[in-house]
Amino acid sequence: MKVVKECEKPFIDICRLSSTLAARWIYDFIDVLFRIIDNVVHSARPVITTNELDKLLAFNCAQLSHIHPFYDMVGGRIEMGRLYKETPPTFMESLQILSEGATPYLSSSYVQSAYIFLPYLQASIVEERDFNFTYDAVLALEHLYLLRSGQRVLERPQYMFMRLAVVSSADNLAAIMETYELLSTMVYFYSSSSIVYAGTTLGQMIPSFALHFDVSSDVGQSDTLTQCAMINYAGGSLGLGVSNYPPDLNDDGSESGSSGLGMLLRVLYDMTSRIGRSTMHGRGRITVYIEPWHPELHIFLAESKRITLEGSTHGRGLFFGVSVPDLFMRRVEDNETWTFFNPDDVPSLLGTYGSAFEDLYVKFEADGLGMSSLPARDVWDSIQFAEMEGLGPAIVFKDAMNRKSNLSHVGCIGFAGQAADSILPSSTEETAMCNTASIVLPAFVTNDHLFDYGRLHDVVKIVTRNLNRMMVVNSHPSLAAAISYVRHRALGIGVTGLAETFIRMRLGFESEAAMAAGRAILETVYHAALESSCELVEVYGPHSSFLGSALFRGELQFDLWNYEPVGGRYDWNALRNRIRQNGVVNGQLVMLSDMGGCARLTGYTDGCEPLLRQQFADLCELGLWNEELRLKLMLSRGSVRFIGDIPTDLKKLYKTAWEIDMEFILQHAIKRGPFVCQSQSIILYRERPTRSWLNDVLRFAWKSGLKTGVYFLRGGKSGFRWAGEDVDTADTVVVEV
């Protein structure tokens, strides 16, 4: 077989190129080298370009990562080398190509800022860092994040990081260099929307939204669907409240079959599917929320199961959620009756929670406004069966969301964001929005297995500053979203790789020490974000809804949980007094979301989840990796639990999500809760879930005061895992083995 370069220069032999790669990366595995060569030769065409050869070599190397984790990195380096041949050789050339032509990709403001410091930016780029990505991460960068024209990629990862640094740091060279260094070394990441659209002519960088469906008129409904489409197309994900949507009824009370929630959900599903097929960089997702008193709850749950079981998981853009009031959960416990109402008859239920909701609900029952009723336990069972069978709905607790929100004084919060994470007020006139970033926690563990809380505090303050700057220059998708920005300026700073952080600190996930460390990490994030938001008042002023908020009253998030921080790590009273005196820029600050895109680029576990599969690279570093261990891991489906060669302390350290009692996952969430001012995307794991098990878990979450009971349930070790927000934009499925 012969290989020809794209420029039609003389032929080179495949073995010569492969030998060069072997000498550089895989000299310890010569036998595997010939296997790679053999696979490439048999799968290649008689005449092949060097670009195609590089792709085949990278793919075949990555396919051998089950033999040794090093091959995943080798495949990534080969693929990155191929990408380097395609992309402009300098940051300046990339900037010129993307900013010129009849339809430039980059905004004039970004180009102007970049040209001011161009020599410094060019000299600061460290291209060697591009070769530290795994094969899967390189593919994600190439297909989802790097800017391109047609089929040609016009950015390298370091150019992308520099673009983000310039956009988020204004015309401040020191801040640009500081931000670039953090992004380039993967200390933190922005959302997928920010990565893709920062500095572009589209300029919509916000990933998380929430809005109510406007049912006041046909124009209102059309406007809502248009806004959903615009947000989705620009990579944003949203929670959509439809509890006010009228049921499908004729004048005599019978179902007509031509309207109602069923019709709306089919429209939304078709819309998200079409947008997903038409956008180059993927698109966001929609989670539709309903309260359990809506008369078409059964249709809602049936659609959730149908779309999951019949639809394509790869192209799915519509998900489901139920916002559960405390009254419903108490009636389930007491085995009482639950009544369904037409939302047109009880509009005030949507705007109330707690005792006010209960009083109205009981009054409407007494007034005979109910359409039908069922035992509350039967309704609860139907929700749980839908959760087990249809990967949803997400379950959030309405009263906890409002009681523990800094912004509940603005109005009742009826539902959460797309990943059951953001807790923000919204209405038909105001589309809630939240800018997010994720801190890569393993980067803060020192060589002696200690966590550097001081450095984390410093980085979170930088991230808070940068997220605020990005919202200033963001192109909002609608006037209603811009109103939310002006009023609340909500942020959602989260984390990635908590499980790997515990491993590096030598803490078992189920240990009290791990729970204490997790709480201390989130306490640091919350304190740093609050402190930075208070300091930024000198630049932006306090957000306009600050007056009357919990922070205005001096109540921090942990006060709303009736928790008093211990250990004296931070002077909370001093910060509380500064906030009451000066205010804060942001109405919300911390949110633990599903950031699958960040996890895919770093190779760490998503968010605060436990390990889903073994970290083979860690086993290599510990000197435990060999062929015998590899085969045993394959037989045990990735678990080290019953492998005698693994020390007992390491077995506790490397427990996977399938081996950890769900009570420990919820206990972690409860420990972190007092420092998470929005909410947490809680994912449950059970290879063979049962209704009684799920009931116990969700009741425990509710009684513990969590705002989110479950985002979704992963049932079975070989089940699909959706790559999340970023998932919020990344239309990708990662199969966990």
pLDDT tens-digit profile of 433-446? Answer: 999 999 999 999 99
Band of pLDDT at residue 1, cut at 50, 70 and 90: low
If one counts the domains in the chain, the total is 4
Residues 575 and 601 in one domain: yes
For the record, the structure tokens of 336 come out as 């009482």
User: Which is nearest to 208 in space by CA: 6, 451, 491?
Assistant: 491
| pLDDT tens figures, 580-600 | 999 999 999 999 987 778 888
Within 10 angstroms of residue 563's Cβ, the number of other Cβ atoms is 17
Of 14-18, 484-488, 493-497, 673-677, the poorest mean pLDDT is in 14-18
Residues in CB range of 518: below 8 A, 6 or more apart = 498, 502, 608, 668, 671, 672
Predicted pLDDT at 278:
61
Residues 19 and 140 in one domain: yes
Q: Which of the two residues, 653 and 462, has the higher pLDDT score? A: 462
Continuous segment of H or E residues that includes residue 301? helix 297-310
Of 115-119, 137-141, 632-636, the poorest mean pLDDT is in 632-636
Compute the Cα dihedral for 347, 350, 354, 358 and give only its sign. positive
Q: Are strands 188-190 and 432-440 parallel, antiparallel or unpaired?
A: antiparallel
> Which residue stretches of 349-397 are H helix?
354-366, 376-390
Predicted pLDDT at 311:
62
Of 189-203, 256-270, 628-642, the poorest mean pLDDT is in 628-642
| pLDDT tens figures, 650-691 | 888 888 888 899 999 999 999 999 999 999 999 999 888 899
Residue 71 clears pLDDT 90, i.e. is over it: no
Secondary structure class of 734 (helix, strand, coil): strand
CATH value at residue 493:
3.20.70.20
- Residue 49: HSE in the Cβ half-sphere, 13 Å Cα cutoff: 9
Report yes or no on 735 lying in a domain.
no
- Residue 133: HSE in the Cβ half-sphere, 13 Å Cα cutoff: 28
Residues 128 and 164 in one domain: yes
Predicted pLDDT at 45:
64
Residues 489 and 514 in one domain: yes
Residues 215 and 128 in one domain: no
User: Which is nearest to 370 in space by CA: 337, 331, 327, 341?
Assistant: 341
Q: Which of the two residues, 683 and 54, has the higher pLDDT score? A: 683
Predicted pLDDT at 507:
94
For the record, the structure tokens of 703 come out as 């009684």
CA distance readout (Å), 647 to 85, 619, 627, 653: 46, 12, 18, 10
For the record, the structure tokens of 355 come out as 């005792």
Report yes or no on 492 lying in a domain.
yes
Residues 558 and 629 in one domain: no
Within 10 angstroms of residue 108's Cβ, the number of other Cβ atoms is 10
Q: Which of the two residues, 32 and 173, has the higher pLDDT score? A: 173
Compute the Cα dihedral for 342, 346, 352, 353 and give only its sign. negative
Q: Is the bond leading into 343 cis (omega within 30 degrees of zero)?
A: no
Band of pLDDT at residue 188, cut at 50, 70 and 90: very high
CA separation for the pair 418, 409 (Å, rounded)? 23
Residues in CB range of 72: below 8 A, 6 or more apart = 61, 62, 65, 134, 135, 136
Residues 644 and 676 in one domain: no
| pLDDT tens figures, 361-383 | 999 999 999 999 999 999 999 99
Residue 209 phi, psi dihedral angles, 5° rounding: -140, 165
Q: Which of the two residues, 536 and 391, has the higher pLDDT score? A: 536
CA separation for the pair 460, 445 (Å, rounded)? 15
Last residue of a domain, one of 635, 654, 673: 654
Residue 706 clears pLDDT 50, i.e. is over it: yes
Contact (Cβ atoms closer than 8 angstroms) between residue 437 and residue 190? yes
Which residue range forms the structural domain that includes residue 323?
208-249+257-404
Predicted pLDDT at 13:
44
For the record, the structure tokens of 520 come out as 């201390």
CA separation for the pair 322, 399 (Å, rounded)? 13
Report yes or no on 99 lying in a domain.
yes
Q: In 144-282, at which residue ranges do the beta strands (DSSP E only) sit?
A: 148-149, 152-153, 188-190, 208-212, 237-241
Predicted pLDDT at 306:
86
The full length of the chain comes to 737
Band of pLDDT at residue 731, cut at 50, 70 and 90: very low
Report yes or no on 730 lying in a domain.
no
Contact (Cβ atoms closer than 8 angstroms) between residue 478 and residue 206? no
What does pLDDT average to over the chain? 86
Report yes or no on 587 lying in a domain.
yes
Report yes or no on 108 lying in a domain.
yes
Continuous segment of H or E residues that includes residue 458? helix 453-473
Contact (Cβ atoms closer than 8 angstroms) between residue 210 and residue 286? no
| pLDDT tens figures, 504-560 | 999 999 999 999 999 999 999 999 999 999 999 999 999 999 999 999 999 999 999
Residue 452 phi, psi dihedral angles, 5° rounding: -90, 85
Q: What is the mean pLDDT of residues 483-497?
A: 95
Report yes or no on 496 lying in a domain.
yes
Predicted pLDDT at 198:
94
| pLDDT tens figures, 197-230 | 999 999 999 999 999 999 999 999 999 999 999 9
Last residue of a domain, one of 404, 425, 447: 404
For the record, the structure tokens of 694 come out as 């799920």
Within 10 angstroms of residue 311's Cβ, the number of other Cβ atoms is 14
Residues 638 and 673 in one domain: no
Residues 215 and 282 in one domain: yes
Residues 515 and 532 in one domain: yes
SS3 letters across 39-73: HHHHHCCCEEEHHHHHHHHHHHHHCCCCCCCHHHH
* Percent of the chain surpassing pLDDT 70: 87
User: Which is nearest to 492 in space by CA: 564, 561, 554, 418?
Assistant: 418
Residues 15 and 113 in one domain: yes
Residues 6 and 33 in one domain: yes
CA separation for the pair 506, 522 (Å, rounded)? 19
Q: What is the mean pLDDT of residues 730-734?
A: 31
Predicted pLDDT at 312:
55
Residue 711 clears pLDDT 60, i.e. is over it: yes
Band of pLDDT at residue 16, cut at 50, 70 and 90: very low
Largest distance between two CA atoms of the chain: 88
CA distance readout (Å), 611 to 252, 637, 660: 55, 13, 10
Q: What is the mean pLDDT of residues 98-110?
A: 89
Report yes or no on 717 lying in a domain.
no
